[in-house]
Structure 1
Amino acid sequence: MSKKALYLLGIAITIIFGTFLYMKFCCNCCMKTPTEDTEKTVAVETKEPDYVPFVLNGSGIDYQTHDNLKFLKNSAMLIIPVGDSVVNGIEKLKTYLISNPKQKITITGYATSDEKNNTTFENLGLARANDVKNYFVSKGLSENQFNTKGEIIDKWKMSADTLLGPAAYNFEAVDTTAVTDEWSALKDKINADPLVLHFNTNKSSEKLDASQKQKVAAIAKYVSNVKDASVLVVGHSDNVGNRDANVILAQKRADFTRSYLAKNGIEASRIETQSKGPDEPVGENNTSEGKANNRRTVITIK
């Protein structure tokens, strides 16, 4: 074999051997294993909120804001002033409790186990609950609608040396049966001794005595507290003159009474009027006294 052929053969062997070594040692260093990307997971950090929401959640009220009542560590005194959004929630609670006088709320105050109780209360959580209640009362809420209790826990959300909202509000179940019975009893009382307004011949009057005014107040109270309740006003007359004219006159008396009740706290849209004219007398129409008793309106709950 000539020198030239041997030279070329050596070059070819060198290239083949070099390629083999590159593939074996260098490419393996650059190649990724099949599972390197598929098995790699990205750790997602779940950041806890830096607040404790102020929550009022009961039947008929649902209010929440990121702001809250605050207490310094080891202190039972609420930090004043309170944020506007919390004050707004307390105003909504006030309106709700006025409309629901039977509703009770338990305020649970919290304190951490490493805090010192320098109060006369059993624990610092209870002291905080009472301070929250006192603040609510100062805003016009009824003290009788709140109960308090305290709990000691291991930790609570803090900002520096301030505890954020260490209190919860539990709306206790209302005995609706008792409430229903109360209003049913009031309705029965109103209808058993209804409000009766008497009129002079062809005239009406807004002069009510104390007993009549009390009955108007009872009717207004019932209607304002019982959903879909309505009032029935029936006008009556004596039998003097034309019957058709008396029916019209009795209707005018009923309409007058409706206007009077509307001025005294009863929605006009919840008052129904009727006229019976001279058809349902309660007195003898052959006497002045009897005719006077027949010129009337009778107000009941439907």
Structure 2
Amino acid sequence: MRINITKTGWLAAAGILSVTQLVAQTPTLNEVKPFAPDTEYRTWSIGVHGGLLNQSNLIGLRRKFDQVENNFGYGLYVKRQILPGFGIQAEYVGGKVSGVRENNGNSFETKLPWSVAVSAHVTLANINWRQHQGLIKPYANVGLGALGFEPSSEINGVTTDYDQTTKLFVPGGVGLKFGVSNDIAIDLGYRLNLVQSANFDGSSHGGSKDIFSYAHVGVEFALGDRSKPFLANSNPVSAMQKEYTAQYDELVAQKATLDAQKAENEKLKSQLERLYADLADDDGDGVANRYDKCPDTPEKTKVDGAGCPLPEPKAPVVQQITVTDEDRRVVDEAIQNLEFDLGKATIRATSHASLNKVAALLIEKNFSLKLAGHTDNTGSMQTNMRLSKERAEAVKAYLVSKGANPSRIEATGYGPTQPIASNNTAEGRQQNRRVEFTLY
């Protein structure tokens, strides 16, 4: 298959258009610290490409057949990235090469069933040094490989077919890779291939080694965990600059925070100094000078809130309380005359006169009185406890109503728990139903 120059132009234009559309997409960066180990990156990639095979070359050399014919070529490769700018690449290329001599019409056609080469791949630079990940990366490669080819020549109308031959060849080229994402790069390349044979074009005339070129457009795909960046896209210098800038910004922010803290500390120090001056206590009496109205108080003197000495405490007056026999007789009479309605805490009127005397005694002599209510064992314990308490409280209420101090009267109910006689007789039960008065 022969491809003329017009078709070649359309192919190149289509390739450039595709690259332009893809480059318009900004690649997404995955951040990795500078000098991170290989395990933090993806280091393997594969690529496929197609393009033009011919005997033309950019350095002006042509071998024997001066009329250039373009033929379709294709290939694929596997690459292991060793450093951000260096990798090892194993590549396969196939297709055919043909040419014609203008002066006599002699021609050749050589089929390339296969070729395998291992090349060193060097990324020269990022065109935009200010970008952390440049979109355009020039590269160069050179290697060594084996080439299987089947030449066929037509000289002076005689066609000669040769058997397939395998020879060493040296591929070397340059190109541009357009990084469109972490995973994909567009590859525009041009490569010269020096075949270690003079019969690659079916003619050993002149004895010089043959050469052919391959211009191609391809796509490279990074392999591995997509959460990791591709090592070939790494820019260590830019990464170090970026990390340094981040650290510098962090230090600037820390310094600003520290300066603000220092200013705040100075402010607090000034406030504390003023507060200390306000709280100074020269005479040590516990009252600050600012509020001390008696600033020369002797040490250990007890002072009031104004810093002045407190008056000497007077000895408490102890009131002697003496209960006389007459006092006890008044109380005993009240006990003897105290009567309640049956089963109730209502004091009968016959008891009021003697209780009035007890109230007058409490008021006059400021005595304290303990009232203890008791019952017999007739009825339930709950009822008796309640009734004894209520009767003691009834006596207290009556005395308070006559002017006695309620805080000096204590009323307690004990129910049938403290009998003074047997509950087996009516007389004994009568004695147990009582309210005891204790005067003190």
Normalised-by-shorter TM-score class = 0.3 to 0.5
Could you say which structure has the greater relative contact order, defined with CA pairs below 8 angstroms and 6 or more residues apart? 1
- The structure whose residues are more often strand, as a share, is 2
TM-score (norm 1): 0.34
